[in-house]
Amino acid sequence: MATPMTADEFVAALRAEGLHVVEHAGWRTHNRAGHGAWGDIHGAVIHHTGGSGPGDGDVVYNGRSDLPGPCAHSYLAKSGTVTMTGNGRANHAGGGSPAVLSAVINESYDGVPPATHFHDGSSGAADGNASFYGLEVSNLGTKADAYPAVQYDAAVRWAAAICRHHAWSAKSTIGHKEWSDWKPDPIYSMTQFRADVAARLAHPASWNPGSTTPPEEDDPMAGMTPRQIYDAVWRTDVMTPPDGTATATNPTWAAESVLRDAANQARALRATVQAQGVAITQLAAALAAHNGSVDVDALIERIETAIQGIDVHLTTS
């Protein structure tokens, strides 16, 4: 928890950490003031742009038709150059998990923050744009688009500079994917990223060990018990209900709820089929008792028509 850095403090902190910093024209007064709070500030969020071209920095500054800029406080090019794009509230983190925010504020988690089940627009989501600095890293978000070592090293230095200024630990830095369950960025391991930030914080800002190779993507279930894995796979409430009317009471279902619903429908179908079997047996007995006095062909045709009109289906997705 802290008062946000001034523009001068921000630039000075980054340059002290050894970063090449460029100031986009107008960035010092460019923000989303009037569209929500800004501060107290609690940490920093790492993003990727989803693009990888020379115009990415302008998009981060100006925004898109559906998302006004600035879309972060800084933009990081492949070359490792940091461009300042916003000062104040920025459209970068969006809504996210209150539990993650609490864990960041208190720096109270081991390895990774609590799993998030929130995103922008979720009921009860915390406003990340009020609480976090944001860095947009130029990357497509695919394994085919590698992070150059100089770019990854610059991201570590950017996060370390912020944490150093506010006297935070590396646990005050998270990935967008750890804040919102809608987001995959960045694709590399945030556990290792925080370890690299912590290594920098253990030395003076001038420390220069050389570039670091970006880590592999996190295994989201690493270190989880079988019970926790079961809950994550089967009890996370994120699936569209099989019956549209269910959204009136609960807009999303867990996987185990969908399977339970399918099982209940299967039982109902089995009971219907069994009842029909009994009815057919009784009908056969009645026909035998009236042998010769019933138009069997006409009766069969009526039964076939009735069966074809029965709408029986299972919805499982």
Residue for token pair 């994917």: 177
Say whether domain 7-220 belongs to CATH 2.170.130.10: no
The distance of Cα 90 from the centroid of its chain, to the nearest Å, equals: 18
User: For 160-195, how does the pLDDT look when each residue is reduced to its tens digit (9 = 90+)?
Assistant: 999 999 999 999 999 999 999 999 999 999 999 999
How confident is the model at residue 295, as a pLDDT?
A: 73
Q: Tokens standing for 263?
A: 């099982």
255: region left, alpha or beta (phi > 0 left; psi from -120 to 50 alpha): alpha
User: For 232-254, how does the pLDDT look when each residue is reduced to its tens digit (9 = 90+)?
Assistant: 677 776 666 776 555 556 667 77
The model's pTM is 0.70
The one-letter code for the residue type at 80 is: G
The answer to whether the CB of 102 falls within 8 A of the CB of 118 is no
Task: Give the start-to-end residue ranges of the domains of the chain.
Answer: 7-220, 224-317
Handedness of CA 282, 288, 293, 296 (dihedral sign): positive
Q: What is the mean pLDDT of each run of 10 residues along the chain (317 residues)?
A: 94 97 96 96 96 81 94 96 97 97 96 94 96 96 90 97 98 98 94 96 92 65 64 70 62 75 82 80 73 69 65 45
How confident is the model at residue 314, as a pLDDT?
A: 45
Other residues' Cβ atoms within 10 Å of the Cβ of residue 129? 24
Q: Can you list the positions of beta strands (E) in the chain?
A: 21-23, 43-48, 63-64, 67-68, 74-76, 82-84, 95-96, 126-127, 132-137, 173-175
Other residues' Cβ atoms within 10 Å of the Cβ of residue 248? 8
Beta pairing class for 126-127 and 95-96 = antiparallel
The answer to whether the CB of 124 falls within 8 A of the CB of 101 is no
